[in-house]
Structure 1
Amino acid sequence: MPKDYSECYEYLSAQFPEVGGCEFYRELFPDNENAGEIYTDFSHPNAIYLYKDEQAGKERRRIMLNDTWEQDYMDYVEQNPLTLCSGLVYRKRANKLQNAQRMNALIFDLDGVGLAELRNLFLRFGGDPEKVRRLPMPTFLVLSGTGLHVYYVFREPVDLYPNIKVQLKSLKYDLTFRMWEYKATSKQQAIQYQSINQCFRMVGSLNDKHGTHLVAFRTGERVTLDYLNAYAKPENRVDVNKPFKPSKMTRAQAKERYPEWYERVVVRGDKRRKQWDISGKVHGNDPYALYHWWLRQIGGIKGGHRYFFLMCLAIYAYKCGVPKKQLRQDMQQAFEDLQKVKHENVLTEDDIRSALEAYDKEYYNFTIKDIEALTDIRIEKNKRNGRKQAVHLQGARAIQEINDKANGTSWRLRNGRPSVREQVFRWREQHPEGRKADCHRDTGLDPKTIRKWWDYQPPVASFEDGHISVKIRPSQELSDMLVEEFKDRL
């Protein structure tokens, strides 16, 4: 048993009541349906959990039903090495974000928590939200093995309209940043951002990675959105009075401005999200170029982001139309490479199966901002200054043509980096009798680079800061002419 787990258990059990797993989920999800009940108006969405069927060796989904929960808890959750549940309730039978109807609890995962970090958290819980790093008091704290699951259970569940989902994601990212501080509340430096649909190991189950049971402690009361909002920046708060952002454009205006959309959505009734033709816009012969680019980012992945790299690999595969068979092969190779990344938590084959679920149209329009947050990989974006691609490229080509004419050459010739060759040229101008060795000593440039550009001469005409400059080589004849012309002024 990890030392951090045992010390945190002693600290929490001495101050707060322990809550059993069966009771915990009854309190978290009080409105689940009974067996055999079907509400066609979706007034009773249900919690859905995943458990490991050890006999079949597979993960299975199961609806959390009210009247059978006690027996189900003993059969499928208690002592199970892998049971997962989010804080959302769903219509239908799949725990996909598109089926999520209400949020009963907002949950955070905080890795690398020992006794010192736990004490620091309690110094911050429940304080003045205007002060730096203060945090809302959680309803429950759950010991997970090497860290904590922090539960904020709402007094009234939050209806998950599409725009509310986006707002809740911003709120969760904001509070995650406030909660996760290296060497203060966590021993892990890399912050791990997670979606509002993220599933967590269930109370009463077994964390087989560390040989620990997940134990819950009641630390506070149920919360309201207003209470959580007070601890977030104004731009990241949730406004339940704005569940939608209705368009002010009339249907006639939409037909004129977006004829393709109008034909697809209004005329044909196809309201599915439109997929971008990524492979058709790739410059080159590789239709999977974006997917292969993401595979190459594996070297920058840190310990707490390994699973999310695999999940985003599945997202990029779906975006680019990569066959699922190839994705599985690449994910297996990536899995082996990611196991070499140092981290307290072990990466398992179950993580691969879970990440593969992101190979789905639901994640097709996953944003770059979300991928950056989940994986801690910086993605440089093409800057068009608000212009469409065709207009942006037209302007870029015009500037390129001006530069080519001014320099008397073309960027396609790739005549070395201007900063390097100009540096060699300027040094030779200042040291006409200088040697290559002297240039190397003064500039620090590689000797091969110096030899390559030793005899370089810049073009006669150059384009700089919007002006064309022409260099004239002085000669004795020109000098004599200038002296004669201006001798009265000298």
Structure 2
Amino acid sequence: MAETKRERVPDYPEMVKYLTDTFPEVSGKELYEDLFPNNEKAGEHKKNHNYEKPNAVYLYSTPDGRMHRRIMLKDTWAEDYDTFVKGNPMTLCSGLTFRGRTNQMAHAQRMHALIIDLDSVGLREIKNFFHRCDHIKPGEFGSFPHPTYIVASGGGVHIYYVFKEPIDLYPNIKLQAKQLKYNLIYKIWDYKMTTREKDTQYQGIAQGYRMPGSVNSKYGTVIRAFRTGPRVEIEYLNKYVDEKNRVDLLKPFRPTQKSLEQAKHDYPEWYQRRIVNKQKPDHWHIKKDLYNWWIRQVGRVIGGHRYFYFMILAIYASKCDVPFDTLKEDMIKLLPRIQEIEHEGDPFTMQDVKSALEAYDKGFFCFTIDDIEHITAIRIERNRRNGRPQNIHLMGARALQDIKHKVEGTNWRQGNGRKRKCEVVYTYRQEHPEAKKVDCIRDLKLSKPTVYRWWNYVPEPEPGQE
């Protein structure tokens, strides 16, 4: 499907002029030489069969619309940049380096930069952003860390925090870095202050971004980069996020709750299978109901989360043993509905579908519910059965409720349990009629998607109150 030019923020050119007048511009070739100074040379890479040294990996499109991966090698980069990146209508690169030839998260070895995408940015928004970087102290409300680079992406900006020394991505560091990035996005993505896009868009640390020097064909503009500040350390970014979301480089692995001797005593079958026999863990098999349920959630998808809805569909297909061809057919059937969703960013194309299909991988089996909620903005209700089957769990719950009703003479359905988020937001609005959405988010500590979803909610009247 061919991309068409579309409207963008009216004063976007003025925003770019502000960056041009304020900061030195750098080429894409220079930016990535600064970002990845330790890429291997072509000869070294051919000799390195064990992929001991990581390299940057980028994607570029060819005239037939297909995307190809290519390793960024030090001695061929200048020529490759002119051949594959400069003027290309679609190129993508993250801030990570990888072992081998693919940019999969499982192969990510070092994080050279943390990059954040901020959509719908004009002159007022970029000025607000830098004012809050430079004039609000870390830890104070509304403060942001100052970036190393700003890239004008065609409709918004990409914010680059380049580290003085690349961070080794041990398993627990990957998780911590993801949480830090989510928290930074939450703070930086401030509707009507730093962006004109309502819906916050969360991205993982391996997300690829359009490369400076390439062309954003949706707007007909060249991607441009500006050096805005020095390199940073992770401790600097830690100052701007909540304590629970900070990265602790001294904790590369999650601490275990049991010693191996305790596990041998408590879980003898597991110990025999995994430690003595060295068997690989088996993945559980899930009914297709989960996959079908997620398909039905298409009506809850909002702009900025379309790709991630398809990505999670691919993960659930893998978990539920749904054949790849069936998954692809279902995505193509869903594509028209996804394309109808209002969004001020890029149009959703078949290329996005192909990209989402790459998540059909057993490596994503442990993708958590919290992660899914963050990137899709779709709330998933939890089932708490304490290990019992659903029918047994419900029988016990109803029996307890009936006993409580008989003993206390009260209706257990009235006024019990945690209030639904829609009711919480509605009650807040009744008590604070002059409050804005940002006040509700701050006071109730709810997520932006939740508040925006239920802001205009009005409960159904009780019988006799119509």
Pairwise same-fold verdict (TM > 0.5): yes
- Secondary structure at the counterpart of residue 14 of structure 1: helix
- Secondary structure at the counterpart of residue 210 of structure 1: coil
- Secondary structure at the counterpart of residue 343 of structure 1: coil
8 Å contact from structure 1 (residues 91, 100) kept in 2: yes
Cα 1:236–1:404 shift into 2, 3 Å:
closer
Q: What pairs with 1:325-336 in structure 2 (closer than 5 Å)? A: 325-336=325-336
Aligned Cα RMSD in Å?
2.4
Deviation larger for 335-344 or 156-165: 335-344
Question: What's the TM-score, normalizing by structure 1?
Answer: 0.78
- Secondary structure at the counterpart of residue 359 of structure 2: coil
Q: What pairs with 1:138-157 in structure 2 (closer than 5 Å)? A: 138-157=147-166
Structure 2 match to 1:25: 32
- Residue type matched to 1:302 in 2? I
Deviation at 1:220, TM superposition (A): 0.4
Name stretches of at least 5 consecutive residues in structure 1 with no aligned partner.
280-287, 409-416, 420-439, 446-490
Give CA-to-partner distance per residue, 1:146-167, whole Å, 9 cap, x none. Answer: 1110000000000000000000
Q: Does 1:16 align with 2:14?
A: no
Deviation at 1:53, TM superposition (A): 2.0
Structure 1 match to 2:224: 215
CA distance in 2, matches of 1:168, 1:108: 13
Structure 2 match to 1:236: 245
Structure 1 match to 2:180: 171
- Secondary structure at the counterpart of residue 261 of structure 1: helix
CA distance in 1, matches of 2:388, 2:235: 42
Structure 2 match to 1:476: none
Deviation at 1:441, TM superposition (A): 11
Q: Does 1:188 align with 2:186?
A: no
Indicate the structure (1 or 2) with the bigger Cα radius of gyration. 1
Question: What's the TM-score, normalizing by structure 2?
Answer: 0.82
Q: What pairs with 1:314-463 in structure 2 (closer than 5 Å)? A: 314-344=314-344, 345-384=346-385, 387-389=386-388, 394=392, 396-401=394-399, 443-444=464-465
- Residue type matched to 2:58 in 1? Y
Q: What pairs with 1:81-230 in structure 2 (closer than 5 Å)? A: 81-126=89-134, 127-230=136-239
CA distance in 2, matches of 1:26, 1:363: 32
Give CA-to-partner distance per residue, 1:420-440, whole Å, 9 cap, x none. Answer: xxxxxxxxxxxxxxxxxxxx9
Cα 1:395–1:327 shift into 2, 3 Å:
closer
Cα 1:263–1:138 shift into 2, 3 Å:
same
CA distance in 2, matches of 1:268, 1:81: 52
8 Å contact from structure 2 (residues 139, 241) kept in 1: no
- Residue type matched to 1:158 in 2? I
- Residue type matched to 2:398 in 1? Q
Q: Of the two structures, which has the highest relative contact order with CA contacts closer than 8 Å and spacing of 6 or more?
A: 2
Deviation at 1:210, TM superposition (A): 1.4
Structure 2 match to 1:484: none
Deviation at 1:332, TM superposition (A): 1.0
Deviation at 1:313, TM superposition (A): 1.0
- Residue type matched to 2:83 in 1? D
CA distance in 2, matches of 1:136, 1:193: 18
Deviation at 1:31, TM superposition (A): 0.3
CA distance in 1, matches of 2:278, 2:271: 9
8 Å contact from structure 1 (residues 18, 215) kept in 2: yes
8 Å contact from structure 1 (residues 154, 222) kept in 2: yes
Deviation at 1:271, TM superposition (A): 3.9
Give CA-to-partner distance per residue, 1:62-117, whole Å, 9 cap, x none. Answer: 11000000111111111111111110000111111110000000000001111111
CA distance in 2, matches of 1:403, 1:341: 42
Q: Give the one of 48, 52, 63 matched to 2:61.
A: 52
- Residue type matched to 1:118 in 2? I
Give CA-to-partner distance per residue, 1:385-415, whole Å, 9 cap, x none. Answer: xx3345x87564334346679999xxxxxxx
Deviation at 1:301, TM superposition (A): 1.0
Name stretches of at least 5 consecutive residues in structure 2 with no aligned partner.
1-6, 407-411, 415-460
Aligned-pair identity in percent equals 49
Structure 2 match to 1:428: none
8 Å contact from structure 1 (residues 291, 320) kept in 2: yes
Cα 1:117–1:407 shift into 2, 3 Å:
closer
Aligned residues: 404
Cα 1:401–1:27 shift into 2, 3 Å:
same
8 Å contact from structure 2 (residues 285, 321) kept in 1: no
CA distance in 1, matches of 2:286, 2:462: 49
